[in-house]
Amino acid sequence: MFSFRKKSPVITRDSLPYKRTFLQPLAVAIVCAILIALIFVMGYMDIRRSESNLVGFMEDQALSTVSVLQRLTEENLRSIIAATDKKSADVKTARHEEADYSKKWVIESLTEFGSYVDGQWKKGKVNNDYLHKLAADNNFWYLAVLDIHGQAVYQSSELPKEALDGADSASDGRELTTIEKLEKIRASRGIGFLALRRKDNSGTVVINLDKSGLIYWSLKVAVEKGVKKIGEGHGIAYVQIIDDKGRQLSSVGQPPLELSGNGLNYNDVLAGKTKIVSKKTDSGSQRILDMAAPLFIDKKIVGVVRIGLDRGSMDTIIAENRTNIFIFVFFVGVIALLSMLLLYYDQNKHMAGIIEMERRLEKAERLSSLGKLAAGVAHEIRNPLNAISIATQRLKRDFIPADDGKTEEFKNLSTVIRDEIRRLNAIIEEFLTFSKSRRLEFSDYSAVDLLQKIVSLINEEAVTRNVVLETRWRYKPAIIPMDVNKLQQSFLNLIKNAMESIPSEGKIIITLDKEGKDYIIVSIADNGCGMTAEEVERIFSPEYTTKEKGLGLGVPLATEIIRGHGGEIRVTSRKDEGTTFEVILPRERVKQ
């Protein structure tokens, strides 16, 4: 008989894999994933491009502001310098009147600074070191506070003797006061000074400016006036003017604390390597684009203009672009998913049709093979069987033994021969009917009773083979619609094959249980020789057998009958370990 077992998990004829089922949806998924990735990349590049364009626009706006500031600073600086030009001091024009007014800006700024020093003096915070630092930070040639007699109380440094041309005392031997020395230096060296006397004449603050100091303060004042003309607004959060030594000349507004000392690369700006540098910064609710550009005076870089522009509108535009990209990608993803689902549904529908067509074609081929086989069997076996049957009847009629003791035995043997001939004829008829479309006669019957009847019929043979038949009725009586004779033949074939797969001794476990609420399951498990995966895939073909004798029609016949009942067969097998056949049958009649 058969040796049909399997080494891998579950393989059924009804569930042979169609690997191409998911091929097209997978291809669509890959294409959609690539498309979405491209959209993401393009969207990201578009956002970066938009951000770059907006930053460029804001930088152009900052450069435009710097250009206006630069023009105003140059005009103010020219007016201040013109006010100190001695050659044209005697000529009074509108230009020089403007210059005189610009000169007042410098004097007012220095006066304000002197008042600050005086205030610190009153608080007791002034000393030589303090004044030295102030003078260095503000580019003063000399800075001092004098007492009521005009002598220096504290000073930024000692007055150089060479600046006095060797004369440091009057002709009568009296030592010159500090204020007299400063006047002498102004007359001989041209280093002017500004003296601010207290209202109570208790002291004086003196500030000396050489040429570089005058240029520094003229530039500082000119820049301040230019910044004031520009003012705040138009998205400008702050403007700072810083000279080439890092000193702040003027400012409008103040950058956030965390931006003070922020590392914009001023060196490249002061060196003329770049016309503007920028950096996005966030400070609480403020979102600022911090920028630095060079300040030119007479085509020479004299400092840096630091401007902070509110980038709220820029971030809003970028956020809108980002949202639009995400929405677009989302809809593309939804469309791709729906396309895959639709393709999956449509493909599986067509696959089901293809599988059904293949089953029908396979059935037709199998029936054709069996038809040819049955015709050959009928031709080769039926005629000899008829001859044997006729000879047996004649023997029984004409050659009865004379001995009465042997007559009964002769009749029994003749009857056995006749019955076996009839059984062989029935087998031939079964071949013939298998190749035709058979009509099953259904009636409600207990599956437990049917299986128990089969076990009773085959038990004696099992004992002779040293095979134990074990039954487990977990659901009974399990009444289902069936063709009793055909279904009995199906189960009998499966149990016999299980028995014949056991080489010496073993066990067959027959189990009946529920499968969901609409089906029952009959399991026939043995611990025989098992099968390979290739053998399992071929056992349903009537042309395949592993038997040395016989045609191997047990499993195909059983499968045909079970399918006629609306059921299916599942096979689990491992080589040299055993096989389990599971027969799934509906509890209600299935329309074919």
CA distance 251 to 266: 17
Q: Any idea of the CA torsion for 421, 424, 428, 431, to the nearest 10 degrees? A: 170
Local mean pLDDT, 10-residue blocks, the chain (592 residues): 38 42 63 79 80 83 80 71 50 45 73 88 90 87 88 86 58 71 80 83 86 76 72 69 78 66 70 83 75 84 83 78 80 79 79 83 73 67 78 78 77 80 70 57 91 89 90 90 88 89 89 91 91 79 54 72 88 88 88 60
Helix or strand run (H / E) with residue 512: strand 506-515
| pLDDT at res. 479 | 92
Any long-range contacts for 374-383 (C-beta under 8 Å, 24+ apart)?
A: 374/428, 374/431, 374/432, 374/434, 374/435, 377/428, 377/431, 378/428, 378/431, 378/432, 381/424, 381/428, 382/425, 382/428
| pLDDT at res. 237 | 78
CATH class in words for 441-586: alpha beta
Q: For the chain, report the end-to-end CA distance as a whole number of angstroms.
A: 32
| pLDDT at res. 260 | 56
Question: Could you tell me the residue ranges of all domains in the chain?
Answer: 441-586
What is each CA distance from 331 to 84, 126, 131, 322, 339, in whole angstroms? 73, 72, 71, 14, 12
| pLDDT at res. 545 | 59
| pLDDT at res. 448 | 93
| pLDDT at res. 400 | 78
Q: Alpha helices of 378-483 — where are they, by DSSP H?
A: 383-398, 404-434, 447-464
CA distance 237 to 284: 14
| pLDDT at res. 350 | 82
